[in-house]
Structure 1
């Protein structure tokens, strides 16, 4: 009986922690991920390519980041 009570209280505590911690983390992520101006996509891509040093995995990441930038950027700045 005591073990079940302890497990129930532990579950309640974890649920409360999740309700408080995760929304704050999500809000922080949304603040950081604000769209950039589209004019910054190509210079960021060029810097990434330059710093890749020929590593194929890094070059693929650069390309994916550029595609993401171009699909989410603000065209009006």
Structure 2
């Protein structure tokens, strides 16, 4: 059996910098990372987490989809 790096749901939410509530909502909607159940415990494999992050990453190359604004003036930077 391969040596798997398993993350708890708390660790997954922390690494993704989202709340547990948001993580559970994403998983329930099928938009979160793949979960693995071992008995009563729930985990996310580290490789599945990495794939999920890569699949949802946005890059700054798509500037039109990411509007940067100055919070003091609400005017676009640039």
- TM-score normalised to structure 2 length: 0.30
Which protein is bigger by CA-based radius of gyration?
A: 1
- TM-score normalised to structure 1 length: 0.30
Higher relative contact order (CA closer than 8 Å, sequence separation 6+)? 1
